[in-house]
Amino acid sequence: MKNFGKLTGLLGVLISALLLSGCEFDVLNPAGYVARHELFLIVTCVIVMACIVIPVMIAVVAFAIKYRATNTQAEYLPDWGHSKKVETFMWGIPILVIIILGSLTAYFTYKLEPSKPLSADAAGTQEPLQIDAVALDWKWLFIYPQYGVASINEIYAPENRQVLVQLTSENSVNAFWVPRLGTVLYAMPQMNAKLHLIADRKGVFNGSSANYSGDGFSEMHFKWNSVAQADFDNWIAKARESKETLDRAGYRQLSFSPKMGDVAGKQKDAEVRYFSQVEKGLYYRIVNRCVDEGTTCNEDQMKLAAAKSLWGELCSVFDPGVVQKK
């Protein structure tokens, strides 16, 4: 018991030091529509669960004290019978809590579905800014197809403008996460995931990979800069002044990571830099694994496989425009 008291005191000191250290918990400090709703869900669920956990913990201590073996004054009822009131209380409260938590979770899961555009009342009617994000070892490549530029480990986006982030990965499974904007989403090879976010204030927000992907993972960070429209236009102009361009050959060079243990090489490889031009359709080729010359895109391979299948045979009978390839 003495050791338990010391442990509790030490834990209290550590918690106090953490609270007084000025640390900022990004998840609890939302800067966007999605993150704000997710925080509401987290806080509400914690409060609802606390309504059960706290009384149960108090009851455990109170019953242990009241009905301890040395307390001869406590009422002893070995033949205590069945109580419908107790059964109703024991089963009814947990069922009610599950219904509340399930309903809230289902509602916000549907409302904040990553692939769905945000509602007009949250994002307005302006065309979303599209960013094609590629997780590399171990850095992020961001392509702006509407402007024809790209960057490494840096995002610029106007405040109060919806952003459509398309996600894929070259090798390892990663996870794109900007805690102050909400929703972590996986980036996986040969897949194209969609994530809609919006920042409703100016600021620089930390982003990272939230999924362990090997040596160099801990340094896989980027910055999301939420700025005014004029500052965003200036950043686009700055990117277009870069002497580097990004084509398939350039992308293949980016995809090669420094050797294991080369710390200096990894740091230099992950430095922020810009590309003034991006080859058209590059992101499509990355997702479909046909960046290298002479390779067939996955989508085309699936079309050929479908044409050779029984379904393809049946379709060719009714559609003379389908050419059967043997």
The answer to whether residues 100 and 132 belong to one domain is no
For residue 101, give its domain range: 23-73+83-111
The CATH number of whichever domain residue 106 belongs to comes to 1.10.287
DSSP reduced 3-state for 149? strand
**Which residues, including other chains, have CB under 8 Å from residue 196's CB and lie 6 or more apart?**
34, 114, 115, 116, 117, 118, 123, 128, 162, 163, 164, 165
d(CA 284, CA 17): 49
Tokens of 326: 């043997």
Digitized pLDDT (tens) for each residue of the chain, 326 residues in all: 455 455 555 555 555 555 444 456 888 899 999 999 999 999 999 999 998 899 889 989 998 888 888 888 777 776 666 778 888 888 898 899 999 999 999 999 999 999 999 988 888 888 999 999 999 988 999 999 999 999 999 999 999 999 999 999 999 899 999 999 999 999 999 999 999 999 999 999 999 998 888 777 888 899 999 999 999 999 999 999 999 999 999 999 998 876 665 656 666 777 899 999 999 999 999 999 999 988 999 888 888 887 777 655 555 555 444 444 43
Domain count, the chain: 3
**Domain holding 276: CATH number?**
2.60.40.420
**Is the residue at 11 inside a domain?**
no
Residue 180: name the closest of 158, 208, 154 by CA: 208
Answer yes or no: is 240 within a domain: yes
In a domain, 10, yes or no: no
What is the rounded CA–CA span in Å between residue 181 and residue 155?
13
Q: Are residues 98 and 211 in the same domain?
A: no
CB 241 within 8 A of CB 276: yes
Same domain, 124 and 103: no
Q: Is residue 249 part of a domain?
A: yes
Write the CB contacts of 130 (distance below 8 Å, at least 6 apart in sequence).
144, 145, 146, 163, 164, 166
> Contact at 8 Å (CB) between 151 and 246?
no
Mapped onto helix, strand or coil, the DSSP state of residue 17 is helix
147 lies in the same domain as 204: yes
Q: Which of 295, 322, 321, 301 is nearest to 311 (CA)?
A: 322
Residue 52 lies in a domain: yes
Helix axes 310-318, 298-308, angle to 10 degrees: 70
For residues 141 and 149, what is the distance between their CA atoms, to the nearest angstrom?
Answer: 11
Q: Are residues 46 and 127 in the same domain?
A: no
Residue 1 domain-assigned (yes or no):
no
